[in-house]
Amino acid sequence: EIVLTQSPGTLSLSPGERATLSCRASQTLRSNSLAWYQQKPGQAPCLLIYGASSRATGIPDRFSGSGSGTDFSLTISRLETEDFAVYYCQQYGDSPYTFGQGTKLEIK
């Protein structure tokens, strides 16, 4: 089973700042098979990024994904108030599909 490790556990930033979240896989992911999700309190997660760098429909371009192999990142270029939430990465390159433990992005 591929283990995904997200860092940091909590990230404290201010609106307007740049956020970089990391996701490291225990094995190389085939075909950059990595997705990112955002979860706000009391809501279901929603898809942000798939294929490591492709934005899902309707996702603002301040969200970008990058990386390959075992190291991936999600960058939010200029934080807006609604971006403060928990973010999860997920790999689908190998069964069973797995999630990272999450990064909480909080307002400083």
Partner 1 sequence: EVQVVESGGGLVKPGGSLRLSCVGSGFTFSSYAMSWIRQAPGKGLEWVSSISSSNSYIYHADSVKGRFTISRDNANNALYLQMNSLSVDDTAIYYCARVDGLGWIDPWGQGALVTVSS
Chain residues that interact with partner 1, rule: CB under 8 A: 31, 33, 35, 37, 44-47, 50-51, 56, 88, 90, 92-93, 95-102
Closest approach, Cβ 57 to partner 1, in A, equals 9
CB of 84 to partner 1, least distance (A): 17
Number of helices (H), then strands (E), belonging to the chain: the values are 0, 11
DSSP 53: T
Residue 32: phi, psi to the nearest 5?
A: 50, 50
- CB nearer to partner 1: pick between 33 and 64: 33
28 or 78: CB nearest partner 1: 28
Cβ proximity to partner 1: between 6 and 79 the closer is 6
Residue with smaller CB distance to partner 1, 13 or 47: 47
Q: Distance of CA 88 to CAs 8, 62, 72, 105, Å?
A: 12, 17, 12, 11
Give, in degrees to the nearest 5, the angle at Cα 12 between 45 and 28. Answer: 55
